[in-house]
Homo-oligomer: A and B are copies of this chain.
């Protein structure tokens, strides 16, 4: 299981670098591992950036986390995965995950904002070739969508594994950025006749809809119970 061993670093925070220290609103930045992992684990898609022919490309894609490693998968024919396999020593990427938690309606247009939590990861993506690591990454990708689901589905067969490329990005140069709290209007604007406040966005999911071909007697699994 060498390929799936978790990184053993015991540090509780990532080390800031020139790229991960924001030029503004620095008070909103964090390098805390627990916070970074929590933001990553709550997301469904990341936005993966890479450079192609000198221009930036940003694509949404599913991802999974195993310790301090992120995994992205796709068809072996997809562009960033093919580029990673061909690049030596790998493909420079930037992987970003963002949650919008609330809309901030201030009395002034200028102070309108959103409450958000984001994680930005800079690094080099590497093709995963070790079969054990690849299997563990695919499990992590499924469990990322719904925790506990990988064990309750048919694992990829040989043909499916061969058609799927997986790339790894180590969590090393990482930062979180977040805005929380309420409206920050200028004192002289407080008496203006405009409603001001916080509009929280809805989270979670609606009632699951079973597939029409579901074998009778298979109930909704516990991991899908709406809290």
Contact count band on A: 35 or more
Q: Does B94 contact A56, Cβ atoms closer than 8 Å? A: yes
Q: Is A11 in the interface zone, CB < 8 Å from B? A: no
- A195 CB contact (under 8 Å) in B75, B164, B203, B210: B210
| Known contacts A156-B110, A202-B204, A203-B202: A195-B218 contact under CB 8 Å | yes
Q: Is A50 in the interface zone, CB < 8 Å from B? A: yes
Interface centre among A51, A79, A193 (most CB of B within 10 A): A51
Q: Does A191 contact B206, Cβ atoms closer than 8 Å? A: no
> Which of chain B's residues have a CB closer than 8 A to the CB of A13?
none
Q: Does B154 contact A109, Cβ atoms closer than 8 Å? A: yes
> Which of chain B's residues have a CB closer than 8 A to the CB of A87?
none
Q: Does A154 contact B211, Cβ atoms closer than 8 Å? A: no
- A192 CB contact (under 8 Å) in B79, B95, B154: B154
> Which of chain B's residues have a CB closer than 8 A to the CB of A149?
105, 112
> Which of chain B's residues have a CB closer than 8 A to the CB of A224?
105, 195, 199
Q: Does A198 contact B203, Cβ atoms closer than 8 Å? A: no
User: 6 shortest A-B CB distances, which residue pairs?
Assistant: A49-B58, A49-B56, A47-B47, A60-B98, A202-B202, A49-B49
